[in-house]
Structures are given as structure tokens and as C-alpha cells.
Structure 1
């Protein structure tokens, strides 16, 4: 799917957009999966607004914005399980990370038409820091994405700055890093934007009459250990390709509720 030159571009710039990773049929299956997850969450009265709070947008505008976001979507629909280890994804990941690739987590991000919330500029690093910074995100586009409906923006080469202090661990100072400072990455349904978790990124409000649905997979080299015990879930560590070089027992740390 990608060449050595593409991998070099990723290493130098901290991001890479790959066209046509998923077919139209695969995209439709994942779209249906997203809609069904939202419906089932609503049925269980677990649906809620995941819009980021803060001072990056005027309070009166922030109140009307909506973001649908659920983690670990591969626990809810098999289309995402297939996507995580899709042959095209594996081919790309092996060139960007190496022969051994492990899933950290997955999540869906849905910006509804006309009121889809923005993501202020940030690094993913504060949420799940690792020693060697092999962690990357793969943002799978389920809709065509452009400036009007809040496409992703990145700051090229910003991963070379290393970890940057965030406001409350959530996002960067928006006076120094406004959303407009990011390079837009418009994409079509089925395309995947890969970016290092140190790459500064964000996205603007969806002001269009179209939804912007993305699914995000976070991957790492299994030998890259977490430097803080945060963002841990009981299913973490699925091997996508290769092997885990260090044997350990994976045991869930949770209590069953009756």
C-alpha cells in the first residue's frame, strides 16, 4: 500500500494520508456499525455528548456543539475487528512501526451536521505516554472530509518537538496553537490518515449539512512500554501482526456487577 518514500515522509513529517485503504463495502459496514452502536447506547441510556470542554471556543457556541465518541468499538461490532487487522492496514503498519504491531485501543468520533464539535489542537501523548514514542493513530474516514465538515489538521514535523505541556492534560494553549495553524488533511471515505501521537493535530467545527464520521485505531510496538499507568482497559494488547517479544500473562483487573 505504501512505499519506502512514503514511510520516510511519515518519519520526517509525523503524518501520512493513504488513499483507498478500505473499499466502499467495508466503509458501509463500518458506517452501519457506528450507527448501531449509537442506537444501542441510547437504548441503554448511555448515550451522551463527548464534546471537549474548555476555553478554546466561546461558551455560548460550545453549548450547542455535539460529539459522539465511544471507545473500544471492536468490542461492539466485528466490522471494526476486521478493519484493525485488515491486510492493507498491516502492510502499512509494518512499514511505519515495524514487524510487531499491537493495538492500544479504538474509538469512534462522529461530528453531526451543522453542530459537530471541534477538537482543539493537541498531542495524544498526554493521554497514554510511552517510553519510545512508537504510538501512532490511524484515523479511518467513513465520510468524505473537508474544511466545511471539520477535517483533521496536523502540524507537520511537530512530533520532533517531543512532549509539550498541555492545559489540564487535554489540549494546547489555543492562543499559541489555534486550530487554523494546522495543515488541513481533506480525505475521502476509505482513506486513512496516520500520525504519530506526538504530532500536533485537531479539527474544526462541522458547519456543513453532512456528518463527519471517523474511527480511530491507536497502534504501538509491543516492546514500547507505557511510561504512566493511564488509559488502560481490560482488552488492551491485541497483536495485529508479528509477535509480542516479551511473554506475560494478560489478566483483566475488573469486578463483575450483578
Structure 2
């Protein structure tokens, strides 16, 4: 992947709060990953999280999932936006069954850079990005399956989404639906207003997420302290993947 192409994607991401990469995964890769996601969801989440949608730390489930941590070109865009010392803060799945969905408009966790009501960010300024999630679609996601929906540019609002959907627009831009093909990858700034639309089909929607954070953003590996990553994962990892898993050199705080 050329440096210029990665820079173009990073620029689109900074402007819109997301960018879609088409055909990142091959059919064989998506089939293997989808089967792994299905297997993960046959059992309760080992972290104790009761949610029906998620399973966590998927990199523990074998080389196919380990390889997604540093999968190009998503990791190249993440390093361009977040710095080449960024790391993985989460590696989850979302399995959306028929008649369900994470369909509440939201930003991830909280508004990181609040902007006062009545104030807009100077157009000469970029809204800082601290976290980027790569969403890999492991099956086709037409409208009836419940696509990811996004309000472009809303990462620059510095606000939570409005309570009423009729007000759901930012600087004249309403939401768009990320209709996707199997193997596509959506890079999303979690500060962008988004949701997963309700799945109105008879099929499931399978998504694998790899979430990257800046060096100073803590990793979200439950139980958050005393987490031990299996030795064999590090033994077969490249230097880049080891750093993504959190093996950093000393920094200003230790």
C-alpha cells in the first residue's frame, strides 16, 4: 500500500470521522474469522460481561485473529493518525442477531474534547483523535441487515448526539448508512455520532473490531490489572505486533 494512499485515507478520516476501505479481507479469511466469531459466541464471555453482542480479546483465539491486530492497510492508517507508537486497546466482536442492534445514537465512552454549546471548532483546526476502531464486516451488510450509521463530521462537534433523531445532523450533514460487502473495513473515530441499525433480516451480522489508541490511552483488557497475555502470542509476534500488544520502550512516565 502506497504512502500516498494511506495519507489520503487518513485525511478523509480526519475530515469526516470515518473512512471505508473496500475488499480488505479475502473470502477465505472472512470465512475463517466468521467461524471463529460464531464459536466465541457459543459460550459466555470469559470476561464476565453479560452483553449478548460482544466477545472480547479475540486475539487470544488463534493466529487468524492475532493477524488482524496489525492487518494492513488499517494499521497503517491508525499509525498515521495516532502515531507510530500507538497500541491496541480492545479487540472485540459484535454479533447482531435478527431483531436486535446497538441502535442508540452514541459516541464511544464519553466526549473526550468537549466544545461549549454555541461554539464550533475553528475550521483551521483538526479535532484531536485518540482512538480509532477498525470494523471488519464478515458478511454482506445491506440495509435490512442493519448497517453502521454515521453522522459525517460530527466528531468535530465536541458533543453527545441530540436526544431526538429529527435533530440528528451536524453542519447540515445528516446520517449515512455504511452498506458493506463481506471483507470491507470501516475505520471509525469513536467521537463520531454513530449506531448499529436494527437487524431486520433473518441473518446475523458479524463484525470483528480492532481498536487502536494513542500510547497514553490505557488498554481495556478485563480485568484491567494483572492481565497476562499468553507467552506464545508474543513469541510468534513481529516487533510491530508486540508493540501493538503493549510492549513499549520506557516513556516519560516510566
Q: What TM-score do the two structures reach when normalised by structure 1?
A: 0.71
1:117 to 65, 78, 101: 101
Q: Give 1:205's match in structure 2, choosing from 198, 206, 210.
A: 198
Separation in structure 1 between the aligned mates of residue 107 and residue 251 of structure 2, nearest angstrom: 30
Tell me how many residue pairs correspond in the alignment: 219
What is the distance in 2 between the residues matched to 1:26 and 1:39?
20
Partner of 1:8: 11
Give the alignment's Cα RMSD to 1 decimal. Answer: 3.6
Which aligned segments of 4 or more residues in structure 1 are displaced greater than 3 angstroms? 129-133, 174-179, 229-232, 234-238, 241-250
Q: Does 1:145 align with 2:130?
A: no
Please, which runs of 5 or more residues in structure 2 have no aligned partner?
Answer: 115-127, 230-240
| Equivalent residues in 2 for 1:62-211, closer than 5 Å | 67-112=52-97, 114-126=98-110, 133-164=129-160, 173-175=163-165, 182-211=175-204
Q: Is residue 2:6 matched to residue 1:22?
A: no
Matched, 1:35 2:38: yes
Q: Give the gaps of 5 or more residues in structure 1.
A: 51-66, 167-171, 251-258
Q: Once the 2 structures are TM-superposed, how far is the Cα of residue 189 of structure 1 from its aligned partner?
A: 1.2
- State the secondary structure of the residue aligned to 1:184: strand
Q: Name 1:57's counterpart in structure 2.
A: none
Are the equivalent residues in 2 in contact too, given 1:121–1:178 (CA < 8 A)? no
The CA distance in 1 between the partners of 2:217 and 2:49, in whole Å, is 33
8 A contact 2:89–2:221 mirrored in 1:
no
CA distance in 1, matches of 2:198, 2:109: 23
Is 2:236 aligned against 1:240? no
Whole-angstrom CA distance in 1 between matches of 2:24 and 2:224: 28
Give the drift of 1:47: 9.3
1:189, 1:146 → 2: CA distance?
A: 10
Tell me the TM-score normalised to structure 2 length. Answer: 0.72
**In 2: Cα distance, 1:249 partner to 1:96 partner:** 22
